[in-house]
């Protein structure tokens, strides 16, 4: 059953799956990054932790985008003008969180790559650790892209 503007009365179709994906991937990436940080070998360059912090920023932006999706999914239609403003704000939120994930993941990967071979007597990063770092960044960006594109298609334009 729809209201006059074509919005479903019980939330947005498909938004629950998108929210679950965003929130689940965000939590999983944070767990992986914390594990990488806690199990880093002795002698690892201190900037490796800075790179992990930037990658965690990408996961945090994915978390915020997922929370925005949950709020949009659970919104009950009210006054048309307020609904249009609200959904326009959520559309901007998911786009901004995509940009934030892109920038923080790029910085995290660049920092990790710059210290990967070991500089100034620091131990080089093992290949599995680098691979896990890159996989975390790729999964975060893929999910942030999916969330942004899907929600911008699902949400009504203001």
- Long-range contacts from 35-43, C-beta under 8 angstroms, 24+ separation: 36/129, 36/132, 36/133, 36/136, 40/129, 41/123, 41/126, 42/123, 43/122, 43/123
Q: How many CB atoms lie within 10 A of CB 3?
A: 11
What pLDDT was estimated at residue 44?
Answer: 81
Tell me the pTM.
0.83
Contacts of 156 (CB under 8 A, 6+ apart): 5, 6, 7, 83, 84, 87
What pLDDT was estimated at residue 9?
Answer: 45
What pLDDT was estimated at residue 122?
Answer: 67
Rounded CA gap, 157 and 8, in Å? 15
Gyration radius (Cα) of the chain, Å: 19
Q: What is the pLDDT along the chain (158 residues), one digit of tens a residue?
A: 445 555 544 467 778 899 899 999 999 999 999 999 998 888 888 888 999 999 999 999 999 999 999 888 887 777 888 888 888 898 999 999 999 999 999 999 999 888 877 666 666 778 888 899 999 999 999 999 999 999 888 887 76
């Amino acid at each position: 059953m729809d209201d006059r503007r074509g919005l479903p009365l019980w939330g947005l179709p498909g938004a629950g799956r998108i929210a679950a994906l965003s929130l689940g991937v965000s939590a999983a990436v944070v767990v992986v990054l914390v594990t990488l940080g806690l199990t880093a070998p002795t002698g690892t360059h201190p900037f490796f932790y800075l790179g992990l912090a930037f990658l965690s920023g990408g996961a945090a932006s994915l978390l915020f985008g997922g929370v925005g999706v949950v709020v949009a999914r659970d919104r009950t239609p009210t006054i048309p003008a307020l609904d249009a403003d609200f959904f326009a704000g959520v559309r901007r939120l998911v786009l901004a969180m995509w940009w934030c994930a892109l920038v923080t993941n790029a910085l995290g990967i660049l920092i990790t790559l710059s210290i990967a071979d070991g500089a100034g007597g620091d131990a080089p990063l093992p290949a599995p650790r680098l691979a896990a770092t890159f996989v975390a960044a790729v999964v975060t960006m893929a999910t942030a892209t999916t969330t942004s594109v899907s929600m911008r298609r699902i949400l009504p334009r203001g």
